[in-house]
Amino acid sequence: MTSLNFLPALPEALNVLTAAGLILVAGIIGSRLVVRALPVPAITGYVLTGMLIGPIGFNLVDAGLLNKLGLLVDLALGLVLFELGRRVDYRWLLREKRLLITGIAVSGLTFLALLEVLTLFGVRPLVASMVAAIGMATSPAVAMNLVHETRAEGQLTERMLNIVVIGNSLAFVVFSMSLAALHVEYQAGWRSYLLHPLYLLVGSVALGWVVGRLLIWIGHWLGRDRQAQLILVLALVAATVGVADMLNLSALIAVLAFGIASRGHDRAHALVEVDFSQFNALVYVVLFVFAGARLDVSHLHQLAPLVLAFIVVRFAVTLLTTSALAHFNGMSSAKGGWLGVALLPLSGFKIIMVQHAAGVYPEFGVQMATLTLSTLVILEIIGPICTRYALIASGEAHS
């Protein structure tokens, strides 16, 4: 035994807690430097910082650590989706049929246009349908972050958030239907292609509904104590993410349904509006630095024409649809156009759905993940800039 045996052996890689700390510190510093140098939102700085410390940069946080951080990221996104769900009154949305029709039209036309473009570029029909489904969804995390950052409120802001919920919900439904077709292609048997998508969709929504009712029941018993209800919400969001992971359900859909149900069924107003402002900065740093670290540019040069066509068509269809339906939806043509610009960010965490399909059929998932990640490289950077500019140009931003 030597006198230095008490010294630890240096690890080959960072552990999870150290990686989480590095993500937070690097995200705050990197974002501040980017925002001081360029007129961009903080999100762009987080994403660029993530790219710098991730596998495509200095590899301080490698792919293995990113996988281990998955549940933490799901929890952070769960808080965003719960807050978004709480802002959606589904009964009002069902009565406000014009907004519902606008959301469905934007999502449906975007899917059909992207499916046509991907097919023209020779992408397999099944892969094309899944990637087109992902293209229907605007990032809820980007939308919520920029609404908070700019303190935006008004006609465009509320319609944007409701359309984000509609688009993400429809994207999940279409993706689940494509997953059923995937089971058929691989001859997995009728139980797989019938029951698996049904289990994903119904099970995730049911889990969110049950937890939403549980929140109302416990909240009524606790009384309108803000601190107690805040702890309760955090605990139930964490539990929902954990249970969904254990049951192989979609944590993101479950938490979104949880937020919607907790508002829609709270007729006695037992719940107070929980203030997440003290957690927002932490949540968004984790989400977007992680998103940047997950990006992969290795295939971007090969897929550049397809990626460019995907982005241009998605943007053009959204912009034309929201502009054409502006008066139908009670907005001026200008605000309808800015709404289309605001919906540009692609939901980076739809990659979780890609990973789910890849987990079932790995050889199939590689092509889909490559195409999705290549698109995200561009939209994770320019999307938030467009949304922020749209909120400011519409006159609804206060910061």
Give the start-to-end residue ranges of the domains of the chain.
Answer: 41-185+280-393
The pLDDT confidence band at residue 69, using thresholds 50, 70 and 90, is confident
pLDDT score, position 215: 96
Among residues 57, 34, 54, 53, the alpha carbon closest in space to that of 44 is found at 34
Of the candidates 345, 386, 378, the one whose C-alpha atom is nearest the C-alpha of residue 167 is: 345
pLDDT of residue 72: 84
Which residues, listed in sequence order, are joined to residue 346 by a DSSP beta bridge?
138
* CA pair distance 3, 211, nearest whole angstrom: 56
The SS3 assignment for 58 reads coil
pLDDT greater than 90 at residue 358 = no
Contacts of 18 (CB under 8 A, 6+ apart): none
Q: Tens digit of pLDDT for each residue in 299-355?
A: 788 899 999 999 999 999 999 999 999 999 889 999 999 999 999 998 765 666 666
Write down the pLDDT at residue 88: 85
Note the pLDDT of residue 214: 96
How far is it, in rounded angstroms, from Cα 347 to Cα 378?
A: 12
State mean pLDDT over 40-46: 91
What's the whole-number average pLDDT of the chain? 87
Query: Which pLDDT score is estimated for 13?
Result: 67
Residue 182, φ and ψ in degrees, nearest 5: -65, -40
pLDDT of residue 165: 93
Sign of CA dihedral 208, 210, 216, 219: negative
Other Cβ atoms within 10 Å of 340 Cβ, number: 25
* Per-residue model confidence (pLDDT) at position 352: 63
Report percent pLDDT > 70 for the chain: 89
Which residues on neighbouring strands pair with residue 138, listed in sequence order?
A: 346
According to CATH, the topology of domain 41-185+280-393 is: Na+/H+ antiporter like fold (1.20.1530)
Residue 175 has a pLDDT of 84
67-82 as b/e: b if 16+ CB within 10 A: eebebbbbbbbbbbbb
**Which long-range CB contacts under 8 A does 269-273 form with residues at least 24 apart?**
270/216, 270/219, 270/220, 270/224, 271/215, 271/216, 271/219, 271/229, 272/224, 272/225, 272/226, 272/229, 273/86
The reply to whether the predicted model has a pTM over 0.75 is yes
